[in-house]
Amino acid sequence: MNCFGDSVVSFSKKVLGACKKIPRGKVTTYSEIAKAINSPKSMRAVGNALNKNENIILVPCHRVVRSNGFVGGYVQGTKRKINLLRKEGIIVSNKGKIDLKKFLYKF
């Protein structure tokens, strides 16, 4: 492990902990999670941490989307992410966009 190992693990735990708080039927953004863990400029690092999520059942990273409302990536593919969101009652347009005014969860 390099000299940043512990801080990376701590950061990832904070990200995953915040992600667990997103309720069913809501989404949040990488930016909102970054702010919630007191690291407001770390949106990309939040995405990287979520990409390494080993327990997608307990940590619903499919509920994290881009700040512009587009669904963004997902480890199991964008199509799967959209299907999961729709099962939770979130309306996703045919272009892959979500109305954040209606579905955004803020911490």
User: pLDDT class for 6, splitting at 50, 70, 90?
Assistant: low
Q: What is the mean pLDDT of the chain?
A: 94
Q: Which domains does the chain have, with CATH numbers?
A: 5-103 (1.10.10.10)
User: pLDDT class for 5, splitting at 50, 70, 90?
Assistant: low
Q: What is the pLDDT of residue 1?
A: 45
If DSSP states are collapsed to H, E and C, what string results for the chain?
CCCCHHHHHHHHHHHHHHHHCCCCCCEEEHHHHHHHCCCCCCHHHHHHHHHCCCCCCCCCHHHEECCCCECCCCCCCHHHHHHHHHHCCCCECCCCEECHHHHECCC
Q: Where in the sequence numbering do the catalytic residues fall?
A: 61
Q: What is the pLDDT of residues 15-60, one digit of tens each?
A: 999 999 999 999 999 999 999 999 999 999 999 999 999 999 999 9
